A and B are shown apart, each in its own frame.
Chain A
């Protein structure tokens, strides 16, 4: 009971600071962007975001949290983080270069894994350390992906330089997807299943539930981007998506995920009127 109360207190504190930070940044975005603090701040945001739904490394934490704390995280803290990212992207006080930097840092995995491996390999517990680094990297990627997905849901409201930056960062988003795959595969699919049904993308015999979950998230994200950008930008986005998916197909020819994914994205961005030529 005491632990629950302490946990709830910590989550309330996180909510308090994120909330006020968000308000602060709305009026003075220079406080965070551009800044040396930004990469670490995004890592923190991603880590908090990844707590909203259970994943491999923080699964036990999520299970142990009181239901009220879980509710607080998903209902209050998570939207605050989304709003914070959104307000930074839409701020007119930021120069395009600053926004580009912000988007690049959002879409790139943190350097936790690479930096942690060097000393770890010199120790007997190298395997364990590597697994831990993987778990943290997975969390980080899942959190970033969730933040990016939230931003991309409103990408139509952003300026063209923001859209261009997201298109340029598409390969990084695919890297994030691969890093976050274990996380996403373990997510409860209840919410996304209903979203899938409501969006008409659910099929009578979908691929395995966990695969579909990941695919659905990807297709929503990429589809959102394709549906709003126009002209050359759309062509560039679609070419990148197709090339990334094809590279997965070549690496793992037996998978059905890539084809399904590609079709989903295509359906979502079908009004793009972009003609691609496969050779």
Chain B
């Protein structure tokens, strides 16, 4: 590898490590700090009407959760083995805490696009299964039945069948 190439790789490594540290820090802050302190903060916020305070807290939290979910989705689509695990673990830790504090269905749909993330994860799992068949199975059997759907619905068997 040339010096120039090594430099690029080293830079990328630094960026990658920084990104991981950032995500890890974010999830720890959310799970251990922010969310843990949230009930106390709400109770002790005497200067604010409780409803307004709660709404503000939820809105702020929702933004962060939305960011984390979006990060998880983009890393799922474009797999980066090192970072994706950290992102998922962070997100799930946050969800664990959030489920207790933010049970409102409206809140979830507003700030956490779980469907998009679940779709991305399912598409990756299906792609792996497809690859497995391509490696070992009967190539005539599977591709038309287990192909990723290119339509806007994401992963849908009906569309792939129609195409076949």
Q: Which residues of A contact B (CB under 8 A)?
A: 3, 6-7, 10-11, 13-14, 17-18, 20-21, 23-25, 27-28, 30-32, 35-37, 39-41, 43-44, 47-48, 57-58, 60-61, 64-65, 93, 110-112, 115-116, 119, 132, 135-136
Contacts and interface: CB of A to CB of B under 8 A. Distances in A.
Interface of B: 76, 88, 91-92, 95-96, 98-99, 103, 105, 108-109, 112, 114-115, 117-119, 121-122, 124-126, 128-129, 131-133, 135-138, 140-141, 145-146, 149, 153-158, 161-162, 164
A57 to B, nearest CB: 6
A237 to B, nearest CB: 30
Given A10-B129, A25-B118, A112-B157, A61 B124 contact: no
Contacts of A25: 118
A60 B122 contact: no
Q: Is the interface of A mostly helix, strand, loop or mixed?
A: helix
Contact of B141 (A36, A112, A136): A136
Contacts of A28: 95, 99, 108, 112, 114
Given A17-B76, A37-B118, A58-B137, 6 more contacts: A7-B136, A10-B135, A24-B114, A30-B108, A112-B157, A132-B140
A10 B79 CA distance: 13
Contacts of A18: 125
A31 B95 CA distance: 12
Given A11-B128, A20-B121, A36-B153, A61 B137 contact: yes
Contacts of A132: 140-141, 145
A37 B129 contact: no
Given A30-B109, A58-B137, A10 B132 contact: yes
A253 B72 CA distance: 57
Contacts of A3: 135-136
Contacts of B88: 20, 23-24
Contacts of A17: 76, 121-122, 124-125, 128
A47 B132 contact: no
A110 B137 contact: no
Contact of A10 (B109, B131, B161): B131
B92 A27 contact: yes
Contacts of A36: 153-154, 156
A149 B88 CA distance: 30
A44 B124 CA distance: 11
A125 to B, nearest CB: 10
